[in-house]
């Protein structure tokens, strides 16, 4: 079937023919007639199947009649990310070149003043992200009461990014009688609840099973080490050895990891760009445009670029980090193998990622084979600088900075006696004690002579000019000098008791010998 049988207007058909397309994709073939019939549509299809044109082309035909009013858009399209919103606007610019339609883009990173000016002139198509759209409605510069057609694109991505409450608010602001087009790649329970709440008798268009990957994409998993620097070394090797690599998107789970991998590839001579949510809008747009034009063959990105980006010539997708959610794997892999082209998806899998890989294989309904060949990490001198300082220290310590070892003697001690040239003792010799000659017999240990008794220490006379304390020193002088104990060796208890006579308080501390005063009035 060709586009001429779908009921599109002459202007739209001419624009489609100008782009070179002659045959609609399955979702376009099934969805466009329902949209032109003004019915709600629930479209379920994997990425890269032409979902954007499935609602852009019929919307252009519908919008040929009518006129936009100030601050009251006629149609509204919600996208989860700025890049997707800008991509949809490019589709309207391409296919609506022969029509005088006002298309506005409400995304973050752009001043409110410029967007307000466009809304004041009147908008036929408003493409927005949920956050910026609600900001304009709360400021009072935008009214959604004139929306005739509402499109919610990449709904499962909206769910992942936490936009479902915003979607519910928007659906309550638009008229109850509007037409709703709902597109998603997967159908989790929360998305199913939204469709049952806000769609009225929708026409379900499902061209593939939910969460399946394109058959034109070859998938494999490559074992990787636990350390981050090992994964970066393996990634560089795969990029150098990949066959038919034209360009590639490298996905990471975290924005911080995107920056690290991007810097590492630049350091090793790769032409690479970066794309993540913390970048300002101009930098994100510039990186994406350079990648599309082929000026940058490699793009390191977070999942902000995983959904819906239409870059037809992506030959390879690398999952530097295995995604935590299996649905994200489907959308990442969907960046390659688009429109019937072949593609390659390679995942770097550490031992900690095995559980996630099992969940991914369960979701897509097929096993992902392991790559054949030797993919062990080969460390060179240039890679040592990227290793953590602690690990480099551990490796240096293993190289001989620890305790000195007697290498030759220690190695020989573990060899058998025959190898060392020594005779093997007999069984009797091993069991019986060795007989020593009489001349070599060890002499018996001589008994040590008894320690001579030390002479008693003479009492030191008191220093001149310094009176002695009467209780303490007097008690010492009364004691028998022959029983003065040596320093560090206290006398036995029995000896002290025998030497002390009744009335002799030499064994008592001095503070107990001081007289105690009775309290007054006792």
Residues 112-145 pLDDT 10s = 999 999 999 999 999 999 999 999 999 999 999 9
For residue 352, what pLDDT is reported?
A: 93
**Residue where one domain finishes, among candidates 349, 379, 409:** 379
pLDDT band at 419 (very low <50, low <70, confident <90, very high): very low
189 and 232 in a single domain? The answer is: no
Using CA atoms, how far apart are residues 11 and 99, in angstroms rounded to an integer? Answer: 8
237 and 198 in a single domain? The answer is: no
Has residue 61 got a pLDDT over 70? yes
Using CA atoms, how far apart are residues 51 and 28, in angstroms rounded to an integer? Answer: 7
pLDDT in tens, 231-255: 999 999 999 998 889 999 999 999 8
Number of neighbouring beta carbons within 10 Å of residue 167:
18
pLDDT winner (highest mean) among 301-305, 306-310, 329-333, 378-382: 329-333
Number of neighbouring beta carbons within 10 Å of residue 189:
8
**Residue where one domain finishes, among candidates 161, 186, 206:** 206
DSSP 75-129: EEEE-SSHHHHHHHHHHHHHHTTTS---EEEE-TTS-HHHHHHHHHH--SEEEE-
Using CA atoms, how far apart are residues 395 and 392, in angstroms rounded to an integer? Answer: 5
**Structural domain of residue 138, as residue ranges?**
3-206
Tokens 């949209």, residue located = 35
Using CA atoms, how far apart are residues 284 and 300, in angstroms rounded to an integer? Answer: 12
pLDDT in tens, 460-482: 555 554 444 444 444 444 444 44
For residue 400, what pLDDT is reported?
A: 43
100 and 181 in a single domain? The answer is: yes
**Residue where one domain finishes, among candidates 206, 227, 246:** 206
Domain presence at residue 201: yes
% of the chain exceeding 70 in pLDDT: 69
43 and 76 in a single domain? The answer is: yes
pLDDT winner (highest mean) among 55-64, 78-87, 374-383, 453-462: 55-64
Domain presence at residue 316: yes
- The verdict on pTM exceeding 0.85 is no
Domain presence at residue 153: yes
Higher pLDDT, 510 or 92: 92
If you average pLDDT over residues 283-310, what whole number do you get? 83
For residue 504, what pLDDT is reported?
A: 54
Using CA atoms, how far apart are residues 178 and 77, in angstroms rounded to an integer? Answer: 13
320 and 256 in a single domain? The answer is: yes
Domain presence at residue 231: yes
Tokens 């590839």, residue located = 265
For residue 380, what pLDDT is reported?
A: 41
pLDDT in tens, 202-223: 999 988 666 677 788 999 999 9
176 and 30 in a single domain? The answer is: yes
Domain presence at residue 522: no
Domain presence at residue 138: yes
Total of domains in the chain: 2
Higher pLDDT, 181 or 308: 181
DSSP 436-499: PPTTTSPPPPPPPPPPPPPPPPPPPPPPTT-PPPHHHHHHHHHS-GGGPPPTT-PPPHHHHHHH
Using CA atoms, how far apart are residues 236 and 270, in angstroms rounded to an integer? Answer: 9
Q: What is the CATH number of the domain that holds 294?
A: 3.40.50.300
Using CA atoms, how far apart are residues 446 and 26, in angstroms rounded to an integer? Answer: 106
193 and 248 in a single domain? The answer is: no
In whole numbers, what is the pLDDT of the chain averaged over residues?
A: 78
Has residue 456 got a pLDDT over 70? no
Using CA atoms, how far apart are residues 375 and 239, in angstroms rounded to an integer? Answer: 12
Asked whether the beta carbons of 185 and 80 are under 8 A apart, the reply is no
278 and 168 in a single domain? The answer is: no
């Amino acid at each position: 079937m060709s586009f001429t049988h779908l009921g599109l207007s002459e202007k739209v058909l001419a624009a489609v023919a100008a782009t070179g397309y002659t045959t609609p994709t399955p979702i376009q073939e099934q969805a466009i007639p329902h949209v032109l019939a003004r019915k709600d549509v629930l479209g379920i299809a994997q990425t890269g199947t032409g979902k954007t044109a499935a609602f852009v082309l019929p919307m252009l035909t519908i919008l040929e009649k009518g006129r936009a009013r100030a601050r009251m858009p006629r149609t509204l399209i919600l996208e989860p990310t700025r890049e997707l919103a800008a991509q949809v606007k490019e589709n309207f610019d391409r296919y609506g070149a022969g029509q005088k339609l006002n298309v506005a883009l409400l995304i973050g990173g752009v001043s409110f003043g410029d967007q307000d000016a466009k809304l004041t002139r009147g908008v036929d198509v408003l493409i927005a992200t949920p956050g910026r759209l609600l900001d304009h409605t709360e400021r009072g510069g935008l009214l959604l009461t004139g929306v005739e057609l509402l499109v919610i694109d990449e709904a499962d991505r909206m769910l992942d990014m936490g936009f479902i409450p915003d979607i519910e608010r928007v659906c309550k602001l638009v008229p109850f009688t509007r037409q709703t087009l709902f597109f998603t790649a997967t159908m989790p329970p929360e998305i199913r609840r939204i469709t049952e709440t806000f769609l009225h008798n929708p026409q379900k268009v499902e061209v593939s099973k939910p969460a399946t990957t394109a058959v034109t994409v070859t998938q494999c998993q490559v074992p990787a080490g636990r350390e981050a620097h090992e994964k970066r070394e393996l990634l560089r090797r795969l990029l150098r050895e990949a066959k038919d690599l034209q360009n590639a998107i490298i996905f990471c789970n975290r924005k911080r990891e995107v920056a690290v991998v991007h810097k590492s590839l630049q350091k090793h001579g790769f032409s690479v760009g970066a794309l993540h949510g913390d970048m300002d809008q101009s930098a994100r747009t510039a990186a994406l445009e350079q990648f599309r034009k082929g000026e940058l063959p490699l793009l390191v990105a977070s999942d902000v670029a995983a959904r819906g980006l239409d870059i037809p010539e992506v030959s390879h997708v690398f999952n530097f980090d295995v995604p935590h959610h299996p649905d994200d794997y489907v959308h990442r892999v969907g960046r390659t193998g688009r429109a019937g082209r072949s593609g390659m998806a390679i995942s770097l899998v550490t031992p900690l990622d095995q559980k996630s890989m099992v969940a991914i294989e369960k979701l897509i309904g097929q096993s992902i084979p392991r790559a054949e060949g030797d993919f062990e990490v080969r460390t060179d001198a240039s890679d040592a600088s990227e290793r953590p300082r602690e690990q480099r220290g551990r490796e240096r310590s293993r190289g001989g900075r620890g305790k000195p070892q007697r290498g030759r003697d220690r190695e020989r001690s573990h060899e058998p006696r025959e190898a060392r040239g020594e005779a093997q003792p007999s069984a009797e010799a091993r069991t019986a004690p060795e007989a020593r000659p009489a001349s070599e017999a060890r002499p018996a240990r001589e008994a040590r002579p008894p320690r001579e008794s030390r002479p008693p220490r003479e009492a030191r006379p008191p220093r001149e000019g310094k009176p002695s304390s009467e209780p303490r020193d007097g008690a010492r002088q009364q004691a028998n000098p022959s029983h003065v104990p040596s320093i560090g060796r206290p006398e036995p208890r029995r000896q002290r008791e025998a030497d002390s006579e009744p009335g002799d308080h030499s064994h008592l501390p001095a503070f107990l010998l001081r007289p105690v005063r009775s309290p007054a009035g006792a």
